Structure 1
């Protein structure tokens, strides 16, 4: 594909009314297109509440690839048009039949990128405006991801490479060498009028599908081997393979079907007689042109045969999934994840821990890897806070450790709440992000009493308790042999040392100690 084809912006036509010249142009373009790119935009749902309906599609983008009359199906002179169908302004019943026929027309290859969700939302939008049948399928359909995977296989010289899931922007960058900005993807598409930037973005999303397909088609034609074997039995299988295309009603109105018939006649009759009728150079040039036309048309039909797919919507696809949360059974009965999530946001009823399980009137905590930094802060204010045994624990490991050590599990992972029935009232989801705010949240939620004399009373390294009697300098030096280095500057300061009974780590009341005490006095507002 020539760079100029990628860089030239196609004409953009906004369609607001079924009576407008733009709509007439759209109808005309669709009858003369064999490939179109489809995309849709809607207002993003920012609320975390479960929606009773699907989002309403605000804009449908249709990029049409037009081939010149009386020429081969595809040439470098193909013309592209992009239409922005404003579904908020136009009366949907007036465009429903046209779109439905296009979606199922065997003569138009539809291109898209993960278009099933778009089709679900489109169908719901049209149903809400009186088009009760909605849309149930799109065929033939080719997902751009399949094209990308084919191009990747070609780069690897036939070696099989794992299929990759990439964004449309990443595919455009690799295949076309252009950057497809996605900054406006989550803009409010329900606002009118649309900005120039929104229109350009929407048009580019649909048009890039055509450009990627052109690269794909050129690659197939250039290599030739991909469809050569397919053509060996072409004359006998032509009608059988495209039977559905030629049996479609009103088929003679579409240029594509006429071209396919001409290609069939060319393959069946013209080619076998060529060598016996060649007499002039002009005839030779004409024959070469026919050969090129045949090759390109054959490649296109091979692409449709091999990569043409369909999108089918089932009844389950048409029903909004208000919650993906499954109902789980326990000895207490059915527990719903949605209900648990609500409880975690505003805890009601008794405190979320068993008072009899804690020490010194406070619960013991287990901080999972997502709030591991919170554990050190809890220890600094004198609370018993453990961390998982392993660096990457499974959910079951966390639950077992919390149950075994009789701890309240602190987490930011909402998925773990589904297991609440295993350690009922012993799990809490922390909502804050910063460690100081997390500490205050836990103190407030669990109604904990923090006093200055409990600050720095636990080992911040392992959560162990200190020995009851402090060590002298001589005792500390002896305890630290082969384990820990004590700075020489401490020997003449008559400082007391404290040792963890679990990991034997030594602590002393130096500058860092006093700074840490003052920090948590301020954080916990102990002076107020």
Structure 2
């Protein structure tokens, strides 16, 4: 797979008009695809008590034509803010329920809920409430894990990024997940991210197919519906009640019968294919035996109930705040959201002059970025700290608490120089925002001078290879390829993690030189 910092190598089509060549390409591709992966993007709703579902801005459809040709794939990004929803609703509904196309998704039920309400509210289209046959990537991962380790997974929620890292050995960045997907035009980064999010589902399925299914783990005793292929049409019709069955058969299923008589009527298959294409924009040719077996054994379905499409509101009970209290609360938030006063590490306040931050779970990635540029950035002691614990730790260690949680700003015991609400969504932009807000002085000598794992400082004197081997014994493995390179090793004074100036180090240094604009 390709990294998401540029356009991936596979083909991407942005579909924003039904009259465009991209839309024609989409309909043609769906007539050939046996396997598709689905994902959706929308602008996040900030309020936890919203009374409606978010409007889906983008629907990603990654298509693969054949099970044995994993590289033969293409991704379509359907711009649902530009496309007339009434014109694509029938197409999507046909795709979602086609028995001849296996659909993949990652926890797709909520995506389907949002799609269904979007098409109903903004296009007057109903019926987008089921997907079958379907396979969830979480289930696929569990099968892979069971195959590799011989034991079932404990119930736990693995993120798609974690699954990609383990199965594909590829780091799927989720930085753009909460970006504003309603803004047009989409950035190149958003396009690459959206396409990769859908395409990686195909990649994971193909690993599943090669490692689990191709080793004899596919159905052994499951019967696959078959037609008597050696019988002519005349013999089939002479069977009792068979004419009634054939009359009830849909045109998409009739291809089984046409295949049985193809030798006598060479133009029959082409005629039915033309009929299928004219009546539907989806693949109506039956799945091959391998894919059909997969569906029979592992296939699922998603069916929405009416209750799924009812917005969920907070169940908290109690007295409602008056309008005056709400206004005062909003003023309080606006009053402390921007940075005010001197930071607690300031010399005039009794600090040591060294910038120190505490990053809560919402900006945990920012903590690692700050460490990479040599800034002291701690994380909470406990995994799920309450507000009071965060404030106590920040005060005790004379740190500024960095967060994106607006609720923290409502606490009366907070001081304006104890907390800062980070406005940016992406880690690089967050880093620049903190540097500019607190007027941090960054030099190239500071880069990579802290342990990214625990925030500790490095031992001042570098270790030789022999000293590093001794220090790493029973704790950390040093790759054999490093022994002949005469490298210097650095060790964290707190957690004893070892680092060396290899390719990864130099790439990281160059990255932060560029991000912090140290060359300008």
| TM-score calculated relative to the size of structure 1 | 0.51
What count of residue pairs does the alignment treat as equivalent? 311
**CA-based RMSD:** 4.3
Pick the aligned partner of 2:220 from 228, 239, 242. Answer: 228
Tell me, yes or no, if the aligned pair for 1:227 and 1:299 is still in contact at 8 Å.
no
The change in CA–CA distance for 1:92 and 1:375 in structure 2 (over 3 A counts) is closer
Q: Which residue of 1 aligns with 2:149?
A: 156
Segments of structure 2 that go 5 or more residues without pairing to the other structure are 2-6, 230-244, 262-286, 330-384, 396-404, 420-520
Q: Work out whether 1:16 is the aligned partner of 2:21.
A: no
Q: Work out whether 1:324 is the aligned partner of 2:314.
A: yes
Structure with larger RCO (C-alpha < 8 A, sep 6+): 2
The structural deviation recorded for 1:141 is 1.3
Q: Which residue of 1 aligns with 2:297?
A: 306
Q: Work out whether 1:430 is the aligned partner of 2:411.
A: yes
Deviations 1:374-398 (A, max 9, x none): 78999xxxxxxxxxxxxxxxxxxxx
The structural deviation recorded for 1:161 is 3.2
Q: Which residue of 2 aligns with 1:284?
A: none
The structural deviation recorded for 1:131 is 1.9
Secondary structure at 1:224 match in 2: helix
C-alpha distance in 2, partners of 1:373/1:61? 39
Q: Which has the larger radius of gyration?
A: 1
Matches within 5 A, 1:89-128: 89-128=82-121
The structural deviation recorded for 1:150 is 0.3
Q: Which residue of 2 aligns with 1:354?
A: none
The structure whose residues are more often helix, as a share, is 1
Q: Which residue of 2 aligns with 1:424?
A: none
The change in CA–CA distance for 1:258 and 1:177 in structure 2 (over 3 A counts) is farther
The structural deviation recorded for 1:33 is 1.0
Q: Work out whether 1:26 is the aligned partner of 2:52.
A: no
Deviations 1:65-118 (A, max 9, x none): 113xxxxxx223651010011111111111111011111111111111111111
Deviations 1:208-252 (A, max 9, x none): 111111111112333204422336x876999xxxxx9x9763306
Tell me, yes or no, if the aligned pair for 1:373 and 1:435 is still in contact at 8 Å.
no
Segments of structure 1 that go 5 or more residues without pairing to the other structure are 2-6, 68-73, 239-243, 266-295, 328-334, 348-367, 379-411, 415-428, 439-528
Tell me, yes or no, if the aligned pair for 1:217 and 1:299 is still in contact at 8 Å.
no
The structural deviation recorded for 1:140 is 1.2
The change in CA–CA distance for 1:211 and 1:341 in structure 2 (over 3 A counts) is farther
C-alpha distance in 1, partners of 2:393/2:189? 49
C-alpha distance in 1, partners of 2:34/2:143? 21
The structural deviation recorded for 1:56 is 1.0
C-alpha distance in 1, partners of 2:126/2:29? 25
Q: Which residue of 1 aligns with 2:401?
A: none
| TM-score calculated relative to the size of structure 2 | 0.52
The structural deviation recorded for 1:430 is 3.0
The structural deviation recorded for 1:38 is 0.5
Q: Work out whether 1:81 is the aligned partner of 2:74.
A: yes
Q: Work out whether 1:62 is the aligned partner of 2:61.
A: yes
Secondary structure at 2:49 match in 1: coil
Tell me, yes or no, if the aligned pair for 2:43 and 2:55 is still in contact at 8 Å.
yes
C-alpha distance in 2, partners of 1:373/1:175? 36
The change in CA–CA distance for 1:109 and 1:437 in structure 2 (over 3 A counts) is same
Deviations 1:241-268 (A, max 9, x none): xxx9x9763306xxxx958997x99xxx
Matches within 5 A, 1:138-177: 138-157=131-150, 159-177=151-169
